[in-house]
Structure formats: structure tokens, C-alpha cells
Structure 1
Amino acid sequence: MARRVKAIRATVSMKIALSEPLLVLVNNYVKALRFTLFWLKENVPNPDEKGVLGKVHEELYTRLREEYNLPSKVAEDCYRDALSVYKGWYNNPRRGRFPRVYRPTVWLTPKASYNVDFEAMTVRIASVGDLQILGYPRNLGEYANWRMKEARLVVKDGKAFLKVVFEKPLEKVEVKESVAVDINMSEIVVGKDDISYVRIPTRLNEVHHWKSLAESLQRKYPRRWRENKRILYRIRFFNQRARRISLGRLGSGLLKLLGILVPMLLSWRVSRTLSRM
């Protein structure tokens, strides 16, 4: 069996123009999906058997096209969608009631059922035609070179959305350089080797000291500390001291750490580029 290639997937939601042919397609698809689900329940006792998909295609393909006026590929998407829902219900150990279809949602496959034109900013859907993309995320252009997978056409509150799944192969990253970072109670040590390193002192010991004082008072007066104002104020004072140190000194320490790491990484990158020239 072939090994599955690892890939990165992202789902992008786009608002598209609503039209009468689109609403007709969605309405017919939902009716066909309901019919297919109950047909599977009556005629397919075990959806995991071999050859079930071929049997469903032979029995329902023509019927879905003629009775529900679905395009050829959308008819295939419909019974595949119903079969996946039926399998999910059948293989669920806590099987509840048989699934119902309420939401107007259409499953579409790329190129056959739909296609996205990034230059014209339009979506072409089978039997509907070209629809303008009205809204999209700012980073939509980043997915122009990704491979389009299945999509879901959703109609909600008088608006239409196309939720497209994009996929690209996962690039294998090879480690070429490394930076060691050691964080402990007294300091942060950053370096490349035993010679090139920097020590950044921290005040974690002081934070631990003030937090320990507050906790020791709570242990010493397990009941009284909530009611006695003097004890309560003292505990609050210790916690505030610890918080000020952690937000002030530790924050500046992290900024200093970034100020050291970024130039180191940039210098190593420049030196590596020059060595290749």
C-alpha cells in the first residue's frame, strides 16, 4: 500500500454572490442527500463492504440526475457525501438516531464541480456559472499555488459562502545552524558553542522568594488569612512584588535575549550566503 504523503491543509472561507440557479442547486442537493441517506439505510446494511461505492453509483447516479436535476459530478458528490455521513453514523459505537439533513450545504470537488479564478476573483460552479467573490481573507493570494481540494458551499442567513480546502506538500526542513538557550533560576545563557555565548541575569530567585513568603502565610493561617485584613494585605503585598519583578525584569530580559538572537542569526545567514558565492 502506498505511503500517504504528508501535507499542510488550510480552509479558506470566501463570500460569493447569491443567484437563483445557486439556490436551486442547493435545494435540489439537500433533497437528494436526504433521499440517498435513507436509501443507504434500507439497502446497504454494511457500508464498509467492498464494492459498496460501485453499487451505490449504479443504483443512484441516473436517479439523482433525472429526479433531482443534479449535474453529473455533483450527483457523484452527493452520494459520496451521503455515504461518508452514513459510515460515520454506522461506525460510531455510541450510535444515536439516524442522521438528518437540515443545513443547506453542498459538497463540491475541484475542477469537476467548481473552480476558482484568482485573477478575475470569480468562482465557477457546475450548472450555476460564474459567481463573483465578494469577500475573502487578506492572505488569499498566498494559496494561489496551493492545490485545491474539496469545498463546501454553505447558504446561511441569505448569504453564500464557499469554504475551500487548500493543500500543499510538507517541505522537509533540514537543520543547518543551531542556537542553544538555557533558562534557569539565576540566568539565561545563549550561545553557539563554548566560546560564543552570552549570560543574561534574571531575578527568578527573587520572584520565588516573594511567592514563597505569600504561600507560607497562607499555610500558617489556613482559615484566618481570608478574614484578617492585616494578613490579607501582607499576602497581597508579597504577590504584587513578585508580579512587578516578573513583568519588569523578566520582560526586559526577554527583549535583551531577542536583541542578541536576531543579530546572531542574521550574521550567520549572511556569512553562509557569502560562503556559497
Structure 2
Amino acid sequence: MSAVSTRIPALARRDRGRALSWLRYAGTPLIVAAALLTDYLWVHSMRLDSIEQRTLNRDYLVTKTTEHLKLTVIATVLIMAIAVPLGILVSRVRARWVPPLVLGLANIGQATPAIGVLVLLTILYGPGFGIAMTSLVAYSVLPVLRNTLTGIEQVDRSLIEAARGMGMKPAQILLRIELPLAVPVVLAGLRTALVFCVGVATLAAFVNAGGLGDILVNGIKLDRDPVLITGSVVTASIALLVDWAGGLAERILNPKGV
């Protein structure tokens, strides 16, 4: 009888843990879906004028959302291509002053207002997609670079010494030990950079690079609250979903036992 009585609370705790885990991973998509549905119903309950109808229609919203995602994805690929190899290279340098110097330069890009970088580059080279991409990469590269360097440096030195004792070469140690153990930290930096990219990509509208910023600018310029609120809800929804997907990727890609 006592064994049964102790087993029931354990099962209840396990079921409660499963329910909380499910809510943690399904909660964000449900919140986003509820926000988008609420905005959709609210907009369709109003009588939109011709100006609002030109912006709040399916084709325009899909086009601008696709442009925004394109900006975010390309910027993320470039950030990974720059920050991860650079972080690995810096971690290999023995001079202690090199990592602070590299991180300091990357920090300048993030500390500088993105709109200021856009304006400066536009004055020098003119508006366009490349200008927006340069600003996105400069603003969002720091988290991935810093986390790559931190993730590699925090690997237990005894593991590296053991690998050397087994005859592994530096490249093998990097690929088989250091990088796999640094994956959780690198993914956390990538998750942060993705959210940064989604937010900063709205400024691409000011350099004729498209994205959801066009909807926000239209809402402000034309003084149309439905347009402005819809653009804000869609942008925030993408940011939340990107952060949720990043958390899911961290859980899936983390090495077992880490």
C-alpha cells in the first residue's frame, strides 16, 4: 500500500513536468497565433479606406514578410560565416590582447545606432540591399563572435590535454571536442543575433531594401493606425517565432550529456 501511495505522487509530478514542458514549447506559437488572429479579426471588422486597403491586403503583406525573412536569413548566414571562423581564429592566437581588440571592434558595430550606420553608408554609396545587409551584419555579429570565443575557451583543458595524449592533432581536437562542446554557447549567441536581425531589418525600408519596415513607415507617414499596428504585430510575431525556433534548435543540437 505504501509503495502504491508513493508511486502516485511521482507519476503526478512526471505528468505535470510533461505538461509544463509541452506548454514551454507550444506556448510561443499559440501566443503568436492568437495575436495574429486578433489583429486579423480587428482589421476586418473595420471599414478600411482605399489607402489602408493598398497596404492591408494578402499580396502586399506576404511580399513584405518574404522580403523581411530574406533579409534576416541572408544576414544570419553572413554572420555565421564571419563570426564563427573569426572566433575560432582568435581563440588560437596566444597574444592576450587580441581577443579584447576583436571583441571591442565588434562591439563598436553594435554600440553604433543602426540607423546612423544606414544613413552614413547611404550617403557614401547610395541606398540599396547591400547597404541594409552591411548594417544588419555589423549590428548583429557581436553575440555570435563573443559566444564562439567564450564557448571554445570554456572547454575543460584536461579534455584537450587528454586528446593530445591520445595523439589527436589540433584540427581533430577542434572538430571533435572543442566545437561540439561549444555548440550550446554558440547557438545561444546565434539566437540573440537572429532576434536582433528581425528588429533591425525594419530599418531597411529607409534605404529602399524592402521588408516589414515599409508597412510601419506607411502607417506612420499616412497616419493609419491599422497599418501601423498590423506591421508591428507581424514583426513582433516573427521575432518571437525566431527566438522560439532558436530555443528548439538549442535543445535538438546540443550534444548529449552537455
- The alignment's TM-score, normalised by the length of structure 2, stands at 0.32
Structure with the greater alpha carbon radius of gyration:
1
Structure (1 or 2) with the greater strand fraction: 1
Structure with bigger RCO (C-alpha 8 Å, 6+ apart)? 2
